[in-house]
Amino acid sequence: MDKVERDFYQRSEEDQASFLQQTWCNKCQKVDLGMKDPQEYELDGVILIEGKCNVCEDTVTTELAPDDEAGWEE
């Protein structure tokens, strides 16, 4: 498995804000608690953004398929 580092901060501020906000925390069992210290990487063609839950500081991972990258907005 190849893990390729990507630069989260290359994204637009809008993207950054929504990725930091739209999270799922396994520990809190809640959505959209937000994350901090984001790190973005690609693993086997899947882009992952990993950070820490704003509430419990557990690791939170957001997974996005490459095709979805441009169309995250609702």
Q: Interface residues with Zn ion (CB under 5 A)? A: 25, 27-28, 53, 55-56
Q: In the chain, how long is the greatest CA-to-CA distance?
A: 32
- Least Å from the CB of residue 42 to Zn ion: 24
- Least Å from the CB of residue 66 to Zn ion: 27
The one-letter amino acid at 26: N
Q: CB nearer to Zn ion: give 32 or 69.
A: 32
Yes or no: say if 39 and 49 are a contact pair by the CB < 8 Å rule: yes
Yes or no: say if 56 and 27 are a contact pair by the CB < 8 Å rule: yes
Q: CB nearer to Zn ion: give 28 or 48.
A: 28
